[in-house]
Every structure is written in structure tokens, then in C-alpha cells.
Structure 1
Amino acid sequence: MRIFSNFKGIACALAALVCLASGKPVGSAEPQRSPARNPLVRVATISLEGVTAEPGRARLEAAISRLDQAAAFGPDIVCLPECFTRGEPEAVPGATIQRLSVWAKKHGCYLLCPLLVRDGERTFNSAVLLDRQGEIVGRYDKIRPTEGELEKAICPGVLDPPVFPTDFGLIGVQICFDVNWHAQWRRLREKGACIIFFPSAYPAARQLRSHAWRNQCFVVSATLSRAASIYDITGETLCSTGKFQAWTGAVLPVGKTLFEIDFHISKFRQIMQKYGDRVQVEWFHDDDLATLASLDPDLTVEDLIKEFALTPHPAYIERAEETQDDLRPAKENSPQQEPKS
């Protein structure tokens, strides 16, 4: 299987990378947004570190208090931690989703709401996505519950993870223990997810940096304890919660694209010369790599790829593999047998 076959990440929009910036007015829902060619996606995430409220309604209200703080950032989407109320399983929509639906509609913001879901005779560790009107977009069920969860009759979700549409692109979700199965993350990227959200009990920081880098995808964690973070497609940590603030936010250039420097150095210089501060080029000098992002709502990286005949890193690797296979001696192209012991 070719690396990143049917790779659709470029279809998502790009924007300037800004951590903890203040933004658009909030407080009333926006009826219907026309997607920009290159939307600037304001993402916020929450940690419940230090929350001692009792499970259920009290923890729900404590989480909403932190959401209210994050609303000052003017987010397009916010993520809450895994099973953040620690309450009993409930139907969807139930009391928790109904309460959070009001918040999402008030702030005109997508909201990812993780909770235990009762679905018929089964219980799932799930994350429900609400849209800007507070309506349910879809539900992700944790594919890889822990042994402890399985003993408590938490049912595993279907193996093929879904992606969910938003007005700024497709997103995916993985929950906590899912971090250990790389194929699920790759599958979300192949399906076009430009951001993968990770509601969790803990940060899993080293693993998330690896997933972000390997899949060239933004990753956003939300945690019950310790730091919640937002990671760049390069695996760099963009921002994190901490002692002085329990939420964090960044404006993500979700179509930001990675390139090998081969054949691109002079082209990138031409792009910077022509477009100036409308674009952002970041050089990784020790890796012979660079990233390109557009900061202009009306200019996409796809436009730049076409104008300057650029080859994104995944396509470059795929092209190299095809040429290598074409030129490899025939006997080496046939399946190799294991040597006999």
C-alpha cells in the first residue's frame, strides 16, 4: 500500500499559527457560515486538572466554567476530556448533551463532548460532536477500551474510525488508549481529517507528537489531569495548559503542508518574494524539510502547489517508490522467502 494513498489533507484550509490570541466576538450563535477558501480555525482545549467536584452534574458545571473561560478566545471548536463528568452512562441526547448543546449554540462553536453512552443494551466510551447550533453531528466510540473498561462491560467501537464534517474541514477523534494503535490514526488522515482530537485521562505527549509528525496532522489533546496540548503537523508543541490557565488555544493552519527541500528551495523563495506575509515558510534545516502555510483567507496551499508545481512530501515519497520499483531488478521485486533455519 502506498504511503498516504488518497491523501486529502491539503483540501483543509491554512491559517496563521497563533497561540493564546484573543479573537472574534462571542456570546451569540452564528446562523450559517459560508466556508472560506482558506478558513482560519480557532481551536481550544480544556484540562480538568484540579477539579474536585463530585461526578455527574457538579463536574459538568465545573467543566462549563472552564469552557466559559475558553470562550474569550472565540473558538471555532473546543474539546473536553475523556468521560469528563465521570457520571453514569446515559442515552444520547441526554442531560449532559442537552446542557452542552445550549453552550455550543450560545457561542456559535463546535464542541466535542466525551461521555459514557448507553446505546440499547451496550455501553460505549464515546465522544459526541455538536455543531455551532448545538445539533449532534456524530459520535465516535472508543475502538480500544482498556482491560479495566472491558471488565466493566464497555463495548469496543467499530474498527474503521469515522471522520466528521465541519465548516472548516473534516476532523477525527481518538480516545485515550487508542493512542497505542497507529493504524487508526493513519486511517483518519487517509480519510481526510485535518485535525485529530484526543480526549483522554492523561497527556500521552510523546506519543501524540509522534502521531502528529508521522501523519502530518494537527493533534489536540484534552485531559482529565495534567496538561492538555495542541501539536503542529511537525510534532512541535504549539501550546499547553498549566498552573495558571486550564484552557489553551491556537489558530491552526490546517492545510499546512510538508515538503522535501529537493526541487523546492528556489520555488519557496519565489513564493515568499511574491506573496510576502500572506504565506509562512518554516525551514527544518537539519531534516532537509520545510513547511508551507497560507495566511490569506482567499489563498490556499493548493493554489500555490499548482502555481509553482510543488510536490508535497507524501506524493514525493510515493513517486520515488514507484521509480525505485520500476528500476529494481526483477528478482528483487518478487516476494522474498525467509531463509531456512
Structure 2
Amino acid sequence: MKPSKISRRNFLGNASLGAGAFGLPGYFSEAESIKSGDSVPRQVNIGTVSIMDIAASDTPDMIQKVLGIMDNIVPYKPDIICLPEIFAYANIANHHYQLKDVAEKVPGAVVTSFLNFARTHNCYVICPTYSLHEGNIYISAALINRQGKVAGEYYKMRPAESELKMGITPGKGNPPVFETDFGKIGIQICFDIKYDEGWNALKDKGAQIIFWPSAYAGGQEISSRAWRHQVYIVTSTQKDTSKICDITGETIAQTGRWQRNWICAPVNLEKAFIPTWPAVSRFPDIQKKYGPKLRLTTFSEEEWTIMESIDAGLKIADVLKEFNLKSMHETLKELSAAHENAGKKT
């Protein structure tokens, strides 16, 4: 199969006119959502919680209120639900506590409360808490699996100054990636958003979804992280919006005025983020072969393209290999290595 010949100069000229200039069916200049009825090979139903305007009398009361919020998500058959940072100790009037009195050896009082939910509803749960480990206290997030067992923990790497003064220990670098039955996921917590190392490490390890329990919503910081690292980001917050962010940085779903405390939406993990140039020369051949089984969505000004399988039998990795294409992440890693090698020669 011969690749179509599209020069870099012609590509740039046509791109300024919008994707329609290529005359390629299914080649869009704007992102579009998965259409109802499409067969998606790796669809994950993600739920997330905000405790905006949820007040409680004490920690057990807050736990019960959060479990009540989660009950609303159950009809959507979630694969995973994320809860906010240290939610069990937030939004509680006149609640003063010492870390040494509430930090738990996971699973302790807070995490144990969600084991049965995960098992009963056959879903993963990300449950943040204060964690006691080897004499240190961390802000952590425990991953509970579908069997109601703790599959692992992430310790917040970059606590805020006030948290350090409270006695919180920063987690070590090199955050873990967790293997789930739908793919690899990672976790960052609140102020971790300000630093690159955790996000870079999770991307390098193959995380496709990064969950971000937080005290605040993050806004454009979240969108920026999503497209820079080409991962889905799921936020769960103590205030304002919780949201699910696409790998393009666009919002898939979020809480708001009319539904303040939970959302659940599907994402498709059979999706790749690739540089439009020079891959664009192969688009006609790809579309001729796969037609409606695959969607190409191009962002003209950014010159990136999202390749998405919408057929249960088609894996994006196979398409990339077949047409000798690389993801944006792979392309930039190889280019960085070339820069280093070039620098050594001078």
C-alpha cells in the first residue's frame, strides 16, 4: 500500500483552511464525543464525587453521606469511583483533630467503610485518607479493587506548607502505576499538580488515566496537564467542580449547579494522541482500510490528531504499528534522545 503524498508545505496551507480541505471523510477539525450505539473496545465507566456544600457533624457522618452520593452512581455501572482528598475530615463544623489520633494503618476506619461498597458493586474505589506507615503520616489514596481488597496506596509527594507543619511526611518520588482489569492508572493528589515529576513518571510508566483527589478544583491546570501528558484526568474535590478531562484537555463531564456532587461518564482507552505531521500522509490509506471502525479528529492549529477505535475488534496499537506511526509521547522521547546525542557531538 503506497502512502498518499502530502508535502509539509501543502499540509500547512490546507490546515489553515480547516480539516475539510483534505476531503477526507471522517476527518474532523473539532473533537466529537463517542456516538450512542458505537461499539467501543475498551470503554471505562468513571464516577467521581465532589463534596461541595456537603456538611457533616463528624467523620462517620461524612462517610455515610459520601456513600449516599456514591449510591447515585451505581445505576451507571461504574468501573471505578474516585473520592476527594481527605474527605472524611473536611466540611465538618468545629472539628479539630490530631493527626496521630486519626491516621490509619490502611485499611483502617475510613478505608474499611468502602471495602463492602467496592465488593458489592464490583467496582474499584479510590479512597484518600491520612495513612500511618512505618511511623510516618502521609496524605494517601488507597486503591480498593472489585473484590473489596486494598490493591495499593499512593502517598502525596508534594504536601502544602500547612500540611508539612501539621506533621505530614512527603511521599517519595517514583509514584506507582496500578494495574487494573481495564488498564494502567496513576494517582496524584492536590498540590502535586504544581510539580512535573509525578505526572512525567506516571506517563512514562504507561498510565492512561490519572486520578486527582484534591481540596480544590484545579481548573485550567487540569486541562493543561491532560494534553501535555496525553492522559485522561479525573478530579475529585472538596469544593467547586469535579470533572473528567479528555486527553485533549477538553472536559468530558463535570459537576455543576444542577448536579453538584457526582458524575459518571464513559471514556475510551483505545485512543492515541499523535503528531499530525507527518502522519497525515497516511490518513487516506488508514481511512480507506478501516472506514467507520476508526475516527481521526485533528486539531488544526495545534497540529495534533486523536486516533480512536470505535470497533471492538480494532486495537489502536495495531493500527499505529501497521502504518509505522508513533504517539506524541514516543515521538518526543525519541527526539529528546536525539537532542542529547547531538549535544554530545558538539
How far 1:189 sits from its partner (Å)? 0.5
2-side partners of 1:72 and 1:301: how far apart? Answer: 30
- Structure 2 match to 1:61: 64
SS of residue paired to 1:85: helix
- Structure 1 match to 2:14: none
SS of residue paired to 2:131: strand
- Superposed CA deviations along residues 33-64 of structure 1, whole A, max 9, x for unmatched, are xxxx9421111111111101123110001111
Report the CA distance shift for 1:211/1:244 in structure 2 as closer, same or farther (over 3 A): same
220-229 vs 51-60, greater mean Cα deviation: 51-60
Partner amino acid, structure 1, of 2:58: P
- Structure 2 match to 1:339: none
1-side partners of 2:79 and 2:340: how far apart? Answer: 44
1-side partners of 2:339 and 2:176: how far apart? Answer: 34
Report the CA distance shift for 1:78/1:260 in structure 2 as closer, same or farther (over 3 A): same
Q: Point out the structure with the larger helix share.
A: 2
- Superposed CA deviations along residues 173-225 of structure 1, whole A, max 9, x for unmatched, are 01001111112101111011111100001111211111111111111100011
- Structure 1 match to 2:184: 170
How far 1:252 sits from its partner (Å)? 1.6
Partner amino acid, structure 1, of 2:220: R
Residues 1:126 and 2:140 aligned together: yes
- Structure 1 match to 2:112: 98
SS of residue paired to 2:48: strand
- Structure 2 match to 1:287: 302
2-side partners of 1:273 and 1:97: how far apart? Answer: 51
Alignment of 1:317-332 (within 5 A): 317-320=332-335
8 A Cα contact 1:196 1:218, kept in partner: yes
Report the CA distance shift for 1:272/1:150 in structure 2 as closer, same or farther (over 3 A): same
TM superposition outliers: structure 1 runs of 4+ over 4 Å: 16-19, 318-326
8 A Cα contact 2:42 2:270, kept in partner: no
8 A Cα contact 1:104 1:131, kept in partner: yes
- Structure 2 match to 1:34: none
8 A Cα contact 2:51 2:237, kept in partner: yes
- Of 20, 45, 50, which residue of structure 1 is paired with 2:48? 45
Report the CA distance shift for 1:18/1:152 in structure 2 as closer, same or farther (over 3 A): farther
Residues 1:79 and 2:82 aligned together: yes
1-side partners of 2:156 and 2:229: how far apart? Answer: 20
Report the CA distance shift for 1:153/1:292 in structure 2 as closer, same or farther (over 3 A): same
- Structure 2 match to 1:201: 215
2-side partners of 1:222 and 1:267: how far apart? Answer: 39
- Of 237, 242, 247, which residue of structure 1 is paired with 2:256? 242
Residues 1:252 and 2:267 aligned together: yes
2-side partners of 1:323 and 1:120: how far apart? Answer: 43
2-side partners of 1:148 and 1:51: how far apart? Answer: 23
8 A Cα contact 1:194 1:255, kept in partner: no
1-side partners of 2:187 and 2:225: how far apart? Answer: 13
SS of residue paired to 1:262: helix
Report the CA distance shift for 1:80/1:307 in structure 2 as closer, same or farther (over 3 A): same
1-side partners of 2:251 and 2:117: how far apart? Answer: 28
- Structure 1 match to 2:290: 275
2-side partners of 1:70 and 1:188: how far apart? Answer: 27
